[in-house]
Amino acid sequence: MERILFGDNQFFAVNHISDEKSRAQSIKFKDDQAIITTLDEAIGAGINTFMCTTHDRIANICDIIRANPDKYRDFKIYPCMPYAHKYANAVTELGIAGTLKQYVPGNFLGSLFKGGIAYLSKDYLSIMELLIDSEMKMFKGINTPVIFLQNVITDLLLGLKANEIFVAFHQYIRKKYDAEAGFITMNMPMLLDVLQQGGIENPVICSSINKAGFRMSGGKEIYEKTLQTKKIRAIAMQVLGGGAIPPKEAIEYVCNLPNIESILFGASSKGNIENTVSNIHHFDKTRL
Amino acid sequence: MVKIGLIGAGKMGISHLAILGAHPGVEVVGVCDTSKMVNDFLSKYGNFNCFTDYQKMISQVKPDAVFVAVPTKFHYSIIKELLEKNIHVFAEKPFCLTVAQGEELVKMAAERKLVNQIGYHNKFVGTFREVKKIVAGGALGNIYHFVGEAYGPVVTNKKQDTWRSDPSEGGGCLLDYASHIIDLINDILSPVISSKGSLLKSVYSSNVEDAVYSLLELTSGVSGVLSVNWSDDTYRKMSTSITVIGTKGKIISDANELKVFFKDSDYPAGYSKGWNVKYITDLTEEVDFYLRGEEYSAQVDYFVKAVEGKVRNTINTFESAWYTDRAISIIKNSTK
């Protein structure tokens, strides 16, 4: 993985601290061209990996990338699935079974919902595989070396102790897409233990890691200890703690932690992208 | 270990189940759902003891407390049975479909000294807690107006009907969506006592309202506006906000950001004259397990602690949720 990964929250009005900023972002990135312009600015600053949700609009971005193979030759995408709000809103409206009916492709589920039919538990993993394939369709022909499970799903499964699903996800991503499985979580130390117990060595885990301890469940100390003592390929996100920490201080903290392979951030302006990149390079060089 | 059972493993139920599953002080002793598919998944992968009959579950696993996350029309009868068996209850919102039903359950829970809580999770959101504190401290002077708003993309086109589109089952924007902000208004200011006029509008749904607009009056005499629309797809997810205006200041807050203006030097500690902005990051306490928002873990943890006798059962009690049920019925009646 590259040291710096570019995120997509800003493109889809995801802002953890302000609804107003979120609307401003929605307006700014109304057209796909605005997203491409910002991606090009990130590439200009030396970032060649875009980590993004499987939002409908990413399909358009993928079309543009495929249409310009020379320009995007070294460009990689790390898909993060599923785009949770799509399913969450559907579950509110249609229920769990109704949502699966709507999103699982083909007639696969028809027999499952007619009731009374015994089905094997491996069918759940088949449903998962079908959902992965349907989410991955938009990335056809694009280099996707790491494929992530989004935090809402990861953490839901973690709480339910459905640990086998993680292993199945990991295996399927490797087998079908020749890629590494990644996991986004808000509960990194707990997840790492579970993945190791499941035989997934040195897993790619993306989680909030910041000086303020924001969204670091169980506390910052447990995270720091985990990074120091365990085998993990960590990606730090929310390094600015939702804006609570001054940028330089924030980057300095993350750059000095062990085992952080990559830093994920998103920004809307060229200036902010360049500043963050230069801060990371600076603190990587002066690392204690 | 508190022994907890869950009835209803839908969207909220499954979210509670994951949080309970990760809670070190909880043993999930049983899960009940009508869907074979959900039960099979939970027993196979989560190793939960699953039932399709909640009465059977209760008699077999003997829980100390039960989470009820079924459609609202079943709340009254299920909660009543649980209370009769002296089981502590956490139920999803809204509380009951009629004020009479709710009143009976409030009384029962009090008589039997059982912990009772309803899942109005906004009460555990740092920004809204801070709004309540500022308002209670009197720093806004004489409060004369409020605006409570909630918008989001739940029903954004004409689709198949579910219980959420059936008013007799607890569906519709008023019960399902507006209840959140009504509950906050009740809690932060004072309970709704009357409506000067309400509009329930259908945008896409055929049987229920998709938007609620109402002029409300509170027990304290303060009046204000309620504006809620669950068919607004300019929002990515539900956005709930409250504005409170008084003679000495004004607050505008949502779940992420609190903006408060103090007119003169009479402001609380940690603030200054003029505009102040605080973010959820400054106002949130870290949780041990995170799923969808700190508030969901915090409310579950609070309930567990109340059952253990470590905290007093005062937030989101049946009684407070009953005031919200009452406001819902006041708004409904005011459209007739």
Q: What is the pLDDT of residues B132-158, one digit of tens each?
A: 999 999 999 999 999 999 999 888 888
Which residues of A fall within a CB distance of 8 Å from B281?
A: 16-17, 212, 214, 241-244
Q: Is residue B306 part of a domain?
A: no
pLDDT value for A279: 96
Chains A and B form CB pairs within 8 A to the count of 137
pLDDT value for B163: 65
Strands A260-265 and B88-91: unpaired
Which residues of B fall within a CB distance of 8 Å from A13?
A: 236
Tokens matching residue A248: 């330089």
The rounded distance, in Å, linking the Cα atoms of B64 and B25 is 13
Asked if B37 and B85 sit in the same domain, the reply is yes
Q: Which residues of chain A have pLDDT under 70?
A: 89, 92-93, 104-122, 288
pLDDT value for B160: 60
pLDDT value for A104: 67
Other CB atoms within 10 Å distance of the CB of residue B310: 10
Beta bridge partners of B67: B6, B90
Which residues of B fall within a CB distance of 8 Å from A124?
A: 40-41, 44-45
Strands B257-262 and B249-254: antiparallel
pLDDT value for A131: 86
Asked if B43 and B169 sit in the same domain, the reply is no
Nearest to B60 by CA among B50, B68, B69, B70: B50
Chain B interface includes A189 (CB < 8 A): no
DSSP state of B81: H
pLDDT value for A111: 45
Average pLDDT, chain B: 95
Count CA atoms closer than 13 A to A46's CA, side-chain side: 10
Count CA atoms closer than 13 A to A109's CA, side-chain side: 19
- Interface mutation target, options B11, B180, B275, B277, chain A, most CBs of A under 10 Å: B11
Q: Is residue B159 part of a domain?
A: yes
pLDDT at B232 over 90: yes
pLDDT value for A118: 41
pLDDT value for A60: 94
Chain B interface includes A111 (CB < 8 A): no
- Domain interval for residue B109: 2-120
| Opening angle at CA A139, ends A138 and A143, nearest 5 | 175
Nearest Cβ partner of A241 from B47, B241, B281?
Answer: B281
Tokens matching residue A286: 């002066």
Q: Is residue B265 part of a domain?
A: yes
The domain spanning residue B56 has which CATH number?
3.40.50.720
Q: Domains in chain A, please, with CATH?
A: 4-285 (3.20.20.100)
Q: Is residue B168 part of a domain?
A: yes
Asked if B277 and B151 sit in the same domain, the reply is yes
Beta bridge partners of A264: A5
Asked if B130 and B278 sit in the same domain, the reply is yes
Spatial contact of B150 and B235, defined as CB atoms under 8 Å apart: no
Residue B309: exposed, middle, or buried by beta-carbon count in 10 A (0-12, 13-18, 19+)? exposed
Which CA distances in Å does B10 have to A80, A84, B21, B120? Answer: 24, 16, 16, 17
pLDDT value for A106: 57
Chain B interface includes A184 (CB < 8 A): no
* Largest distance between two CA atoms of chain B: 62
Q: Convert the pLDDT of each residue in B275-326 to its tens digit.
A: 999 988 889 888 999 999 999 999 999 999 999 999 999 999 999 999 999 9
Which residues of A fall within a CB distance of 8 Å from B15?
A: 156
Contact B21 A187 (CB under 8 A): no
Q: How many folded domains does chain B comprise?
A: 2
Q: Convert the pLDDT of each residue in A137-186 to its tens digit.
A: 999 999 999 999 999 999 999 999 999 999 999 999 999 999 999 999 99
pLDDT value for A114: 40
Spatial contact of B91 and B83, defined as CB atoms under 8 Å apart: no
Q: Is residue B331 part of a domain?
A: no
Tokens matching residue B289: 């397990």
Asked if B223 and B78 sit in the same domain, the reply is no
Spatial contact of A15 and A25, defined as CB atoms under 8 Å apart: yes
The rounded distance, in Å, linking the Cα atoms of B221 and B334 is 18
The rounded distance, in Å, linking the Cα atoms of B327 and B336 is 15
Three-state secondary structure of A61-123: HHHHHHHCCCCCCCCEEEEEECCHHHHHHHHHHHHHHHHHHHHCCCCCCHHHHCCCCCCCCHH
Cβ neighbors of B17 (< 8 A, separation 6 or more) are A159, A160, B6, B9, B28, B31, B42, B46, B48, B67
- Interface mutation target, options A160, A163, A208, A209, chain B, most CBs of B under 10 Å: A160
Q: Is residue B256 part of a domain?
A: yes
Spatial contact of B192 and B327, defined as CB atoms under 8 Å apart: yes
Chain A interface includes B258 (CB < 8 A): no
Its sign, for the CA torsion B204, B206, B211, B213, is positive
Nearest to B266 by CA among B126, B130, B133, B134: B134
Distance from CA of A216 to the nearest CA of B (A): 7
Three-class secondary structure of residue A163 per DSSP: helix
pLDDT value for B185: 98
Above pLDDT 90, what percent of chain B?
A: 87
pLDDT value for A117: 40
Nearest Cβ partner of B289 from A112, A217, A241?
Answer: A217
Asked if B143 and B279 sit in the same domain, the reply is yes
Other CB atoms within 10 Å distance of the CB of residue A204: 23
pLDDT at B44 over 60: yes
pLDDT value for A122: 53
The domain spanning residue B128 has which CATH number?
3.30.360.10
Nearest Cβ partner of B37 from A112, A212, A244?
Answer: A112
Among B87, B120, B153, give the residue marking a domain's end.
Answer: B120
Which residues of B fall within a CB distance of 8 Å from A158?
A: 18, 22
Asked if B99 and B153 sit in the same domain, the reply is no
Nearest Cβ partner of A159 from B18, B41, B256?
Answer: B18
Q: In what order do the strands lie in the sheet with B223-229?
A: B192-201, B211-218, B223-229, B143-151, B239-246, B249-254, B257-262, B274-279
Asked if B131 and B114 sit in the same domain, the reply is no
Nearest Cβ partner of B46 from A14, A91, A160?
Answer: A160
* Largest distance between two CA atoms of chain A: 65
Which runs of consecutive H residues, i.e. helices, occur in chain A? 19-28, 32-44, 56-67, 84-103, 110-113, 122-136, 151-160, 163-177, 188-197, 220-229, 247-255, 270-285
Distance from CA of B18 to the nearest CA of A (A): 4
pLDDT value for A126: 84
Tokens matching residue B239: 């956005």
Mean pLDDT lowest among A84-93, A138-147, B2-11, B199-208: A84-93
Beta bridge partners of B251: B244, B260
Tokens matching residue A71: 């320009």
Contact A12 B236 (CB under 8 A): yes
Q: Is residue B305 part of a domain?
A: no
